[in-house]
Amino acid sequence: MFSLELSYEELRVRCPSDIFDFETTEEVKPLDKGIIGQDRVVKAAHFGLRVKSPGYNLFL
C-alpha cells in the first residue's frame, strides 16, 4: 500500500474570492436538485450498518 505524509498546508485549498459572483453565501440560490450524491451515501450506510464483522468500519 502506498502512503504519503502531507502537512496541513498541503491539504488546504484557497480560492481567490474574485472568481465568485457573490459577496456572501446568503446571495447563493439553493440547489433545486437537493444535495448531490446523497443516494449513494444512504445506500452505503445501509450496507455498512448491516455488516456484522469485527473490525469493519463505516466512514461517512
Q: What ranges do the domains of the chain cover?
A: 8-50
Number of Cβ within a 10 Å radius of residue 44: 13
How many CA atoms lie less than 13 Å away from 25 in the CB half-sphere? 2
What tens digit of pLDDT does each residue of 6-59 get?
898 888 888 898 999 999 999 998 877 766 767 888 888 889 999 998 888 887
How many residues in total does the chain contain? 60
Separation of alpha carbons 13 and 22, rounded Å = 19
Question: What's the pLDDT at 34?
Answer: 66
Question: What's the pLDDT at 50?
Answer: 93
The single-letter code of the amino acid at 30 is P
Count, in order, helices (H) and strands (E) of the chain: 1, 0
